[in-house]
Amino acid sequence: MKKLTRLVLGAGVAAGLAAAASLPATAADFSGKTIEWTIPFSETGGSAKWANFFAPLISEHMDGNPTVVVKFMPGAGSTKGANWFQGQSHTDGLTMFGSSGSTQFPYLLGDPRVRYEYKDWIPVMASGTGGVAYLNAEDGKLFDGTANNLKGKTFIYGNQGATRLDLIPALAWKMLGMKVEHVMGIKGRGDGRKMFESGEATIDYQTSSSFLKSVTPLVEEGKAVPMMTWGALASNGDIVRDPTFPEIPTFKEVCDATDGCETSGPAWDAWKAFFIAGFPSQKIAFLPAGTPQDVVDAYVKAFNAIAARPDFAEISAKRLGKYPMYVGDDAQAALGGAITVSDSAKTYVTDWLQADFGVSLN
């Protein structure tokens, strides 16, 4: 009987442990709390639209339904906000940060203003995105799928910074043989779009979410003409058409069709390497160093619940575009791809930045 009792008790304990193991790992509760999500750009760009899209969904799916407030800390092409976040440590699970390619590129290039270390941060969600370059109505009439008719023009572009994500369009236009004058130091791509709308700039690019919301109306009014997307990365490593804008040619297609532009060799290899670092995993949500596992689990649980919504694919496609979302361990893997670029690509880009922008990173 004693043996039987021990067996029954043992079975009961095992069943209890199994049941506990099947419960959600998180014990964190955010009832009545406010999460502050800092975005290191102005409130007019793609990162703002990304965070504002996810903020109410986080509130809805996080245990305790906390309020999620998006705060903006623009400056130095996002370096100001990233340096600030590096100094944050976990206190209550209420601090989150959103980085973008313009935060990743200075880190990759060894920009001396960088005081942050991605490896210290805890990624909980990552999103891919795309980008679209476009012309004003006058110059758009010259665009025929190549840049050949654009080479005699001088374009004006609002640039966040030479080492920021704007190096993708800047290098692309350089490879196409276009003459583009860069007005440096704008606080976000939304500010570049405002320059375009006012006529101060004649060429611009926006990430997909901003293009969908703010530039599509300009296209419909005949005030802007899409030129090319940066494309999307296929599973075999090829650049293919962006699924959000399948009707717009990629930079690769325009380059192939333009005299003197090549989609092989050092320039192309460098452009593609930084495109991969900057777009397939461009926007990443982080918690600060030292955040306890139960808090991390609460965020991961919430983002997984968002991704599992039956309407998520539809609503995210309309607001952000048709791109993948990575959560938890997958977000960590996505971060690895976003902060890894070959030495040869870095060398090419740093030499080009020195020659064209006078930026010394050596």
Q: What is the residue-wise DSSP string for 154-215?
A: EEEEEES-TTSTTHHHHHHHHHTT-EEEEEE--SSHHHHHHHHHHTS-SEEEEEHHHIIIII
- Nearest Cα neighbor of 179 from 210, 207, 157, 211 is 157
Mean pLDDT, range 312-336, rounded to an integer: 95
CATH number at 134-277: 3.40.190.10
pLDDT tens, 109-162?
999 999 999 999 999 999 999 999 999 999 999 999 999 999 989 999 999 999
- Nearest Cα neighbor of 69 from 52, 83, 47, 89 is 52
pLDDT tens, 161-216?
999 999 999 999 999 999 999 999 898 899 999 999 999 999 999 999 999 999 99
pLDDT tens, 242-280?
999 999 999 999 999 999 999 999 999 999 999 999 999
Other beta carbons less than 10 A from residue 238's beta carbon:
11
Residue pair 209/52 in contact by the 8 Å Cβ criterion? no
Q: Would you tell me which CATH number, out of the four given (1.10.3720.10, 3.40.190.150, 1.10.10.10, 3.40.50.300), belongs to the domain 34-129+279-338?
A: 3.40.190.150
Amino acid (1-letter code) at residue 133: A
Collect all residues with Cβ–Cβ distance below 8 Å to 17 and sequence separation of at least 6: none
Question: Would the pLDDT of 20 be above 70?
Answer: no
pLDDT recorded at residue 11: 38
* Class of residue 10 by CB neighbours under 10 A (exposed 0-12, middle 13-18, buried 19+): exposed
pLDDT recorded at residue 18: 37
- Nearest Cα neighbor of 115 from 71, 152, 84 is 84
Residue 27 pLDDT grade (very low, low, confident, very high; cuts 50, 70, 90): low
Delimit the domains of the chain by residue range.
34-129+279-338, 134-277
Residue pair 206/214 in contact by the 8 Å Cβ criterion? yes
Question: Would the pLDDT of 359 be above 80?
Answer: yes
Mean pLDDT, range 47-71, rounded to an integer: 97
Question: Would the pLDDT of 9 be above 50?
Answer: no
Task: Please provide the average confidence, as pLDDT, over all residues in the chain.
Answer: 91
CA angle 116–186–52, rounded 5-degree value: 70
pLDDT recorded at residue 45: 87
Question: Would the pLDDT of 35 be above 60?
Answer: yes
Distance of alpha carbon 80 from alpha carbon 55, whole angstroms: 22
pLDDT recorded at residue 187: 86
Question: Would the pLDDT of 25 be above 50?
Answer: no
Distance of alpha carbon 15 from alpha carbon 27, whole angstroms: 20
Residue pair 332/285 in contact by the 8 Å Cβ criterion? no
Distance of alpha carbon 118 from alpha carbon 140, whole angstroms: 40
Distance of alpha carbon 275 from alpha carbon 240, whole angstroms: 13
Distance of alpha carbon 301 from alpha carbon 315, whole angstroms: 20
Write the CA distances from 13 to 4, 26, 27, 143, integer angstroms. 14, 21, 21, 73
Residue 39 pLDDT grade (very low, low, confident, very high; cuts 50, 70, 90): very high
